[in-house]
Structure 1
Amino acid sequence: MPIPSHAPAIDRTLLRDDVYRRLRDAIVDGTFGPGEQLKDGDLAAWLGVSRTPVREALLRLSGSGLVVAQPGRSTIVSGIDEVSLRDARDVIAAMHELAVRETAGKLDAEALERMREANRRFARALDSGDVAAALDADDDLHAVPVAALGNRALESVLDQFAPVLRRVERLRFGSNGRASVELHEKLIALSAAGDADGAAAVAFDTWHSLPTTPYAA
């Protein structure tokens, strides 16, 4: 039978984002280590997609600093130097500080409960040694004020530079992340109370306390 002319198009945006997240997470968790060459054909076969979304994902990862892409040549997983970590940390801390300052006292009960629930999941993940789950829960918690603010420029900056810090967060949560549980509780309490300055300061310190010492060549 002929192909229907009214068939809906496949949502390529979802495909691109999924491929990007899969590759990003594989770099963060060490599946692909610093200096490893990434071939779009091999990655496409691994993920079961065409080369196009893989190439698009690698370009995004290059913008984040997780890979070094050389057009017409190889793409390799980057190491993270102290300057790159510091720059990303400072920007991310400032963005979360702004989001929390602007939403403190404005989050409804449901939003605050989502933050509390995420922190409970975060604590359980730390106790069980599930670093991946801890990272996901941490992301969910901090995403609440960001989503509530609705600043697309801020979200774009976070999307670009947050992956650089995930490798550092992974190390922290794999060794000693309990202090973050208390910082989260304080952040939620101050936000609920409408203390914009206090909540913003906690948000900034939470991110700015991440180390910038290189840990990968």
Structure 2
Amino acid sequence: MTRIVLATRNPGKITELRAILTAARPDYDLVGADAYPEVPDVKETGVTFAENALLKAHALAQATGLPAVADDSGLCVDVLNGAPGIFSARWSGRHGDDRANLDLLLAQLTDIDDAHRAAHFACAAALALPDGTERVVEGRLLGTLRHAPVGDGGFGYDPILQPLGDTRTCAQLTAEEKNAISHRGQAFRALVPVVRELVG
């Protein structure tokens, strides 16, 4: 069984990625970066989602000698010219503080009418091999932003993004419903044939 390392220590993201990739290809042994505690986290110094995903995937592939999959994703708000974008996880100044990030964003949008609350989740998913081979694919989930969080599923900005065509937020969707339409689901399903081609 081929082992592939997922370049994240976020348990919510590991569960999500495992579900997406395993559904498409159950014969891979998918492990999170927490299986390699000696490998340091990579600083996201890129200026795009794709650059950050590649930085993480290459670092893990080099450190472990295994194929590595990484993603970088975030929320892009139209009226904020695409922000928070690559800074989504640290928008409040504290990396990974979902509630603080969400509260700050909502405060910044207090006076914005519903007609101007368009936003989308974006994801770049990268595969890197130890020999330096790399590929990147992308996905998007279009929606609008609620004025207050609704739902207790998912993570990050899920409680405020309502996908187009739905009346619920991403945090109200089941894991299966979310994976079927999410930016991450789209990107990782697009990555599956790339993994098959390059990893086998």
User: Is the pair's TM-score, using the shorter chain for normalization, greater than 0.5?
Assistant: no
Q: Larger strand proportion, structure 1 or 2? A: 2
Category of TM-score, reference length = shorter chain = under 0.3
Structure in which a larger fraction of residues adopt helix: 1
TM-score under structure 1 length normalisation:
0.26
Bigger RCO (CA 8 Å, 6+ sep): 1
Greater Cα radius of gyration, structure 1 or 2: 1
TM-score, with structure 2 as normaliser: 0.27
